[in-house]
């Protein structure tokens, strides 16, 4: 009861703000509930409609995607979320009697709850989209000031995941360049999202909470107190320049990544645009070793066998979904006088299987990459080691001493991945 009463006060503050009446002290009245630990420990694996379809969505597209999870082996590989993005509701406002957001009956004739039931019957989970503003990015009803009723509606519909966007924010809910005392947790941006955290906490169904805040308000500093993952950049594009820029951005804030705390590099672009196969391999590998949520973003029926092999790679997914190690791979100095690049090219990380090395070729030409075994964090300065190729699942011939250097030719924009074990 206290939780519900407390949230109602914060929700009222939001309503006042929307109507132009700034709360007297919104920081004091803002809820402080933290996200549920029943979900979100590991970065999400699934699919989202936006990159493939934008607003051109209907029930059949989601049922097709859900069934393709089964037929393409994605469910067996660990993918579980089928997520709606923007444009799923009526655009002309809420139900005047119940104040609920109303699904578009033409696009979703069985309702969102009916679609969720069909997805659940396949053993999968179902996600939805809203916005911490007055309208969504495409101009549909959003949730600022209506967090409690929307969370209750999503709970009743059987929603498992909420992507919560950042468009159409009233002026008095925006932030100064630097908040008082540099406290971003008590910024207006954080409080807008905290109100939905409290609302989700007040319902019975555990709902994974994805903060689509585009890296605003230093979200990585407070995101784990409010949600399970948080966008660190603007929207993904199927371009190599986006992939490298967001990798570099994530590397700079990777200390915030752990269980229940995931820097979100946005949805996958594998299958979209003109990315080379090597660039798609690096796209997937980097999202995996940096432990970003991996939400596929293409028409799954159009993926070829090579692309499917990339997104179903069991060893990279095992690193990404490791149940005992929540931290990502991090850059290391692979050899003396190693050149500096942005993003870094050499990463090392640990899993329940041991030590892993990932090497990204940022160059536009094939290059020989190398690392000294004793430079890899955690391996030590003595002993002998074997290398295992995580892409092919095969062991490399021979053993290597700690003082030796391993070299490999890497194609432009490709990534190699190895598991290192003691010989």
CB atoms within 10 A of CB 185: 19
Say what the pLDDT of residue 12 is. 39
1 pLDDT higher than 90: no
| Nearest CA among 195, 207, 88 for reference residue 159 | 207
Report the distance separating Cα 80 and Cα 47, nearest Å. Answer: 8
What is the band of 16 on the pLDDT scale with cuts at 50, 70, 90?
very low
What is the band of 211 on the pLDDT scale with cuts at 50, 70, 90?
very high
| Nearest CA among 75, 202, 210 for reference residue 151 | 202
In what helix (H) or strand (E) does residue 400 lie, and over which residues does it extend? strand 400-401
Report the distance separating Cα 240 and Cα 226, nearest Å. Answer: 31
Give the mean model confidence (pLDDT) for residues 386-407: 98
* 121 Cβ neighbours under 8 A, 6+ residues apart: none
pTM of the predicted protein model? 0.93
If you write DSSP's letter for every residue of 235-256 in order, what string do you get?
A: ---SSHHHHHHHHHHHHHTGGG
Report the distance separating Cα 308 and Cα 287, nearest Å. Answer: 16
Torsion sign across C-alpha atoms 147, 149, 155, 157: negative
396 pLDDT higher than 60: yes
Say what the pLDDT of residue 29 is. 79
6 pLDDT higher than 50: no
In what helix (H) or strand (E) does residue 266 lie, and over which residues does it extend? none
* 411 Cβ neighbours under 8 A, 6+ residues apart: 278, 361, 366
**Residue 165 is among the residues annotated as catalytic for this protein:** yes
Give the mean model confidence (pLDDT) for residues 227-249: 98
Rg of the chain over all Cα atoms, to the nearest angstrom: 22
pLDDT per residue as tens digits for the range 357-368? 999 999 999 999
Give the mean model confidence (pLDDT) for residues 201-216: 98
194 pLDDT higher than 70: yes
The total number of residues shown for the chain amounts to: 423
pLDDT per residue as tens digits for the range 43-92? 999 999 999 999 999 999 999 999 999 999 999 999 999 999 999 999 99
Say what the pLDDT of residue 27 is. 56
Burial class of residue 24, CB neighbours in 10 A (0-12, 13-18, 19+):
exposed
Per cent of the chain over pLDDT 90 is 92
If you write DSSP's letter for every residue of 315-347 in order, what string do you get?
A: HHHHHHT-SS-----EE---STTPPP-SS-SEE
Task: Tell me the pairing of strands 161-165 and 346-351.
Answer: unpaired
pLDDT per residue as tens digits for the range 125-157? 999 999 999 999 999 999 999 999 999 999 999
Say what the pLDDT of residue 28 is. 57
User: What's 89's DSSP letter?
Assistant: B
* 367 Cβ neighbours under 8 A, 6+ residues apart: 361, 409, 410
Q: What are residue 418's DSSP bridge partners?
A: 357, 389
Report the distance separating Cα 292 and Cα 286, nearest Å. Answer: 8
**Residue 160 is among the residues annotated as catalytic for this protein:** no
Report the distance separating Cα 29 and Cα 13, nearest Å. Answer: 8
342 pLDDT higher than 70: yes
242 pLDDT higher than 90: yes
If you write DSSP's letter for every residue of 352-398 in order, what string do you get?
A: TTEEEEEEE--SSS-EEEEEEGGGSTTS-SSSEEEEEETTTTEEPSS
Catalytic residue among 85, 131, 160, 165: 165
List the single range of 32-41, 142-151, 177-186, 205-214 with lowest mean pLDDT: 177-186
| Orientation of helix 147-157 relative to helix 188-201, angle to 10° | 40
Give the mean model confidence (pLDDT) for residues 315-325: 98
Task: Tell me the pairing of strands 229-231 and 208-211.
Answer: parallel
């Amino acid at each position: 009861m206290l939780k519900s009463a407390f949230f109602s006060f914060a929700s009222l503050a939001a309503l006042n703000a929307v109507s132009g009446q700034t709360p007297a002290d919104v920081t004091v009245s803002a809820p402080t509930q933290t996200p549920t630990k029943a979900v979100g420990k590991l970065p999400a694996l699934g699919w989202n409609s936006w990159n493939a379809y934008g607003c051109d969505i209907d029930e059949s597209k989601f049922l097709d995607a859900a069934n393709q999870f089964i037929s393409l082996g994605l469910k067996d590989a660990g993918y579980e979320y089928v997520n709606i993005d923007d444009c799923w509701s009526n655009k002309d406002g809420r139900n005047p009697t119940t104040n609920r957001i109303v699904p578009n009956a033409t696009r979703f004739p069985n309702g969102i709850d009916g679609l969720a039931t069909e997805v659940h019957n396949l053993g999968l989970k179902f996600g939805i989209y809203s916005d911490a503003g007055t309208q969504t990015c495409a101009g549909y009803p959003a949730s600022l000031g209506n967090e409690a009723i929307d969370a209750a509606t999503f709970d009743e519909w059987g929603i498992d995941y909420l992507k919560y966007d950042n468009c159409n924010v009233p002026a008095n809910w925006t932030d100064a360049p630097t908040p008082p005392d540099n406290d971003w947790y008590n910024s207006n941006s954080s409080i807008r999202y905290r109100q939905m955290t409290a609302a989700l906490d007040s319902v019975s169904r555990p709902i994974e909470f994805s903060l689509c805040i585009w890296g605003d308000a230093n979200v990585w500093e407070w995101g784990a107190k409010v949600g399970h993952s948080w966008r660190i950049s603007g929207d993904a594009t199927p371009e190599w320049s986006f992939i490298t820029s967001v990798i570099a951005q994530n590397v700079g804030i990777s200390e915030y990544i752990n269980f229940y705390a995931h820097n979100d590099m946005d949805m996958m672009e594998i299958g979209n645009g003109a990315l080379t196969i090597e660039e798609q391999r690096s796209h997937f590998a980097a999202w995996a070793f940096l432990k970003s949520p991996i939400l596929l973003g293409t028409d799954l029926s159009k993926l070829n066998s090579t692309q499917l092999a990339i997104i179903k790679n069991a060893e990279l997914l095992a690193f990404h979904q490791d149940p005992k190690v929540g931290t990502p791979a991090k850059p290391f100095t692979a050899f003396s006088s190693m050149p500096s690049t942005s993003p870094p090219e050499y990463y090392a990380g640990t899993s329940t299987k041991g030590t892993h090395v990932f090497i990204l070729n940022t160059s536009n030409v094939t290059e020989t990459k190398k690392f000294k075994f004793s430079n890899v964090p955690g391996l030590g300065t003595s002993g002998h080691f074997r290398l295992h190729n995580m892409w092919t699942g095969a062991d490399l011939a021979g053993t290597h001493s700690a003082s030796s250097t391993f070299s490999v030719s890497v194609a432009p924009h490709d990534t190699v991945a190895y598991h290192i074990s003691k010989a």
